[in-house]
Structure 1
Amino acid sequence: MITPALHDAAARLLADILEGPGAADARMDRFFRAQPRLGQRERGVIAEAVYGSLRHHRLLCAFAQTAEPRRVIAAWLVAFEGCAQRELEVLGVAHPEALIAAARGDRASYPFAVSASLPDWLAMRLAAELPAGERSAAAAALLEPAPLDIRANTLKTDRTALQQAFAQAGHDLSPTPLSPWGLRRASRASLFRTLEFAAGHFEVQDEGSQLIAPLLEPRRGERIVDYCAGAGGKTLHLSALLTNRGMLYAFDTSQKRLDRLRERAARAGCDNIRIQTLDADHDNRLKRLYGKIDRVLVDAPCSGTGTVRRSPDIKWRLAEDRVAVLAGQARAILNHAARLVRPGGRLVYATCSLLREENEDVITDFLAEHGDYTPIDAHEILTRRGIALPSQAADAGHALRLWPHRHGTDGFFAQVLQRG
């Protein structure tokens, strides 16, 4: 049961996340560092209340008839934790009977955007993306906490051996249904303190993300570029698929993210990665590689709307006009990266966005300007790699479209393009 002190702390943290810049996890880390007397259990109670309130924030505000953080947290306690009137009174919640009546009433009576806890503009965009019969299921899936997915590092182990090692240590993980490298844990309990992590036997990576690198079908001895490598989740997967052979370039404009990649690559035993920080604008140093790269991955910076199960604060931090800006940046990045691909080479464009503006629309514009590129069916590639997905949705075309309610993964888009 949450105490008055923890209730107040959760309300302060919720307000800090909603009002301040930066991602929720980073702000939560700073909050807890400033509260060293909080124990692990207390931190868990606060984190659960805050993340639950972020997921369902709009609906909770409707229950509470206010966005005041203490009352929003109280609404979450009633609606999702079964908190009774007496318990609310102990917490000092005013008019608890009204809050309980609202939170236990008919949620179907609210508009879709409210019951789905989405901003109006995002609810409209998602409704336009999906058949009417799927919208409720999609909204419900986006409100569910994501499981913990990891990818076995095949440079050091395999999935079966890794699962057995975790089982012996008392950690219950099951094979992911789509990725042949993945293991899933229903709870979000950390595995970072395990011997397997220290030995570099796995990386935390959503199952959907694990399906992107195989689309390049990398071959030993080839030259491959991860153009927006970031902290390197897909770079490390590519290195494992190449069995440490060939030349793998990891580019990004963020030195901080690439430093993180260096740490991860050393732990994973990846020896074939060449890391380079690019200028924010187009980097002329890349000209020496124009037309010489066998395969290029562009995991473009995007809205992250496919990851709201993990980062529900995205819904409230993302402004509608920001999507157009991100789509424009993605177009520019894709155009620059395309220059690297040799004739006959492959280019893969990917995002963790659910929005057509950042996905299909970017590809449509790219193909209109680059007649030497042809789309390739992503599902056929994955089938060749032994990855069987459910039947392809009619609206996906040649692209890979992953949805939480259809595939149990984060939301992803990927288009494979072959240069003539």
Structure 2
Amino acid sequence: MTPAARISAAIEVLDEIIQRRRPASDALKDWGLSRRFAGSKDRAAIASLVYDALRRKSSSAFAMGAETPRALVLGMLARLRGHSVEEIAALCSGENHAPLPLSADERASLSTLAFDGAADWIRADVPEWLWPAFATGFGSDAVGEGQALAGRAPIDIRANRLKTTRAALTAELAHAAPETGALSPDALRFQPGHDGRGPSLQAEPAFFAGGFEIQDEGSQLVTLLAGARPGQTVIDLCAGAGGKTLALAALMANQGRLFATDLDSRRLAPLHERLARSGASIVEIRIPRSRGHEPLADVEGQADLVVVDAPCTGSGTWRRNPDAKWRVRPGALAERIKDQAEVLARAGRLVRPGGRIAYVTCSVLPEENDGAVSAFLARHAGFSPVPLAQVLASEEGDFGPLARFATSHGLQLSPRRSGTDGFYLACVQRGA
């Protein structure tokens, strides 16, 4: 397919996403299945165009004066990919499956890309209904934080200490130009290319050998700061596919007991294969047999550490899931807050006296973060916050400078602040 035909395809897929409110991944998959002529490179390029258009959906629509799929793609080409008006016009010839030629209004909009009078939520590319919560969390930096969350994310990997070292992995992946992570001692980073795509790391021999896992540096950092130690009894209460479980096993040096569970047992399915590849031998997967069944009843009150990677809106991962930003609906925040209260109460029953709960979200909304911790502390008198200075004190490195990202109860990372996804961490301790 020509570059112009790929743009036409992206407009077509966006129309399907917007009209039918479908996840972008589903719409892209169906488009590819019904058009066998499109090769893997074509499909990848079209996906990149679609996701880039969704990143800047509100601001592109404002600048172009229209919210059509075509307007979103044209605005993105100018704003995110830096194409000139003439370059865009050359791609829109109307010939050989190319988009129709630019109108006079489109040319004018692309020439100025004016944002005079645009509301802050538009300039930040944040859903209007979420803007009050977002602005509360970031204050005067909210527009810049939203714009950073609308950018492209790098690819981060975590060197698996059970199999290798970061230095050895750096040498093995030198052909892919890795950068050393700035925060996590196990992180390597790979920047996306001009088309938004990064290297195919999961095709590397080191991946198949268990030498690394794909994991955002922020996720690595909050897992490390949770405080797991070799020999402890640790529970990953919302383990999902197991990214943090694997990181915890490595931090524990395969010593102790590590339980992984999730209310949705289907989410645990990938963990079995990942465990085999990683060499983590201390992990025991506990699958709930039914709703309301506690698969960890036999270790209640025994855990040194319970990691709660709580269900949330996922607002901190909008760089990687830009379509999710526009699909989340009013009411979802209240539902997530209810879920967070329930899982924290469950963690409170599992942790031993003197033990710790590490509460983690991939959210930047204060209601899901400090708000959830405050609500838990108000309902559970036997728990108290762990001071952030104590959380940041680690033999793994000097994390003291992260104190500048402190919140009332914990730590808030974000693309603009820390160069990571938006992760929150707060720790609370049960009284002895």
Q: TM-score, normalised by structure 1?
A: 0.93
Q: Contact 2:228 / 2:251 at 8 angstroms: preserved in 1?
A: yes
How many aligned positions are there?
417
Q: Which moved more, 1:392-401 or 1:218-227?
A: 392-401
- 1:124 partner amino acid: P
Q: Determine the structure 1 residue equivalent to 2:421.
A: 410
- Shift of the 236–306 alpha-carbon distance from structure 1 to 2, 3 Å rule, reads same
Q: 1:291 aligns with which of 301, 306, 318?
A: 301
The answer to which of 269-278 and 8-17 deviates more is 8-17
User: Contact (CA 8 Å) 2:289, 2:295: kept in 1 or not?
Assistant: no
Structure 1 segment 6-155 matched on structure 2, within 5 A: 6-20=6-20, 23-79=23-79, 80=81, 81-82=83-84, 83-90=87-94, 91-93=98-100, 95-109=102-116, 110-132=118-140, 134-155=141-162
- The CA RMSD over aligned residues, in Å, is 2.1
8 Å contact 2:11–2:73 — kept in the other structure?
A: yes
Q: How does 1:208-247 map to 2 (within 5 A)?
A: 208-247=218-257
Confirm or deny: 8 A CA contact 2:306 2:358 kept in the other structure. yes
User: Hey, what's the Cα distance between the residues in 1 that align with 2:332 and 2:109?
Assistant: 34
The one-letter code of the counterpart of 1:179 is: S
Q: Give 3-state SS (helix, strand or coil) of 2:92's partner.
A: helix
**How far is the alpha carbon of 1:204 from its aligned partner?**
0.4
Partner SS for 2:421: coil
CA 76–106 in structure 1, closer or farther in 2 if over 3 Å, else same: closer
Change (3 A) 1:18 1:244: farther
**SS of the residue 2:106 aligns to:** helix
Matched to 1:273, the amino acid is V
Please tell me whether the aligned partners of residues 291 and 342 of structure 1 are also in contact (alpha carbons under 8 angstroms): yes
* 1-structure distance, mates of 2:70, 2:37: 21
1:326 and 1:229, CA in 2 relative to 1: closer, same or farther beyond 3 A?
Answer: same
SS of structure 1 residue aligned to 2:93: helix
Alignment deviations for residues 249-294 of structure 1 (CA, whole Å, 9 cap, x no partner): 0001233321101111111111111112225643244332221111
Tell me the secondary structure at the aligned position of residue 337 of structure 1. Answer: helix
User: How far apart are the structure 2 equivalents of 1:59 and 1:224?
Assistant: 44
User: TM-score, normalising length from structure 2?
Assistant: 0.90
Superposed, 1:380-419 pairs within 5 Å as 380-384=390-394, 385-388=396-399, 390-393=401-404, 396-419=407-430
Who is 1:5 aligned against? 5
Partner residue in 2 for 1:330:
340
In structure 1, what is the equivalent of residue 195 of structure 2? none
Read off the aligned partner of 2:183 and give its amino acid letter: L
Percent identity for Structure 1 against Structure 2 = 35
Aligned partner of 2:288 among 254, 261, 278: 278
Unaligned 5+ segments in structure 1 are: none
Q: CA offset at residue 58 of structure 1?
A: 1.4
Alignment deviations for residues 59-108 of structure 1 (CA, whole Å, 9 cap, x no partner): 22223433322343233234433334343233343553311221332544
Q: Which residue of 1 aligns with 2:379?
A: 369
Instruction: Name the CA distance, whole Å, in 1 between partners of 2:356 and 2:210.
Output: 29
Compute the displacement of 1:402 (Å): 0.7
Give how far 1:185 is off.
0.4
Q: Distance in 2 between matches of 1:34 and 1:376?
A: 54
Per the TM alignment, residue 183 of structure 1 is displaced from its structure 2 partner at its CA by 0.1
Unaligned ranges ≥5, structure 2: 193-197
Using the alignment, how far apart are the partners of 1:184 and 1:276 within structure 2? 32
Native 8 Å contact 1:74 1:88 kept in 2: no
Check 1:28–1:279 CA distance in 2 against 1; reply closer, same or farther (3 A cut). farther
Distance 1:387 1:263, change over 3 A: farther
Cα shift readout 1:184-243 (whole Å, capped 9, x = no counterpart): 001222201110111010000000000122233222222111000000000000001111
Distance apart, 1:175 and its partner CA: 0.7
1:99–1:233 CA distance, 2 compared to 1 (3 A): same
Partner of 2:322: helix, strand, or coil?
Answer: coil
